[in-house]
Structure 1
């Protein structure tokens, strides 16, 4: 019997990762670990907050552009 793939991988927004990479000057791997919650600390908390904020703003911008093009 073959097993189906059950693990769900989280994908991160590459544009937001790049912006955080430039802002904090840390590796993208470290940023992903901070967002995932594997790293603890003040800097990790700041990175996670910024990621959530930037991702929401990016999503809103894309949805606004889609709405404008469909009008």
Structure 2
């Protein structure tokens, strides 16, 4: 039996990518690289921190809406 060599890709929230694109004015490719850790520097660190913050807030909002509607 052979192992599957399927690579699992991480998906990023497109709304957050768009917000970071507007905030920093860099390409979405650069933003994805910054989040994944491929690019090093001060700006990628800020981008990654902002992405993590926005993702956490978005999850909290969705959870709150689910609780209110149930």
TM-score, length-scaled by structure 1: 0.89
Unaligned runs of 5+ in 1: none
**2-side partners of 1:5 and 1:54: how far apart?**
32
Q: Please say if 1:49 is aligned against 2:45.
A: no
Which residue number in structure 2 is paired with residue 38 of structure 1? 38
Which residue number in structure 2 is paired with residue 14 of structure 1? 14
CA deviation profile, 1:7-62 (whole Å, cap 9, x unmatched):
11100011111110111011111100000000001001000000001000011111
Unaligned runs of 5+ in 2: none
Which residue number in structure 2 is paired with residue 66 of structure 1? 66
**1-side partners of 2:16 and 2:5: how far apart?**
28
Structure 1 stretches of at least 4 aligned residues deviating more than 2 Å after TM superposition: 1-6
Task: State the number of aligned residues.
Answer: 70
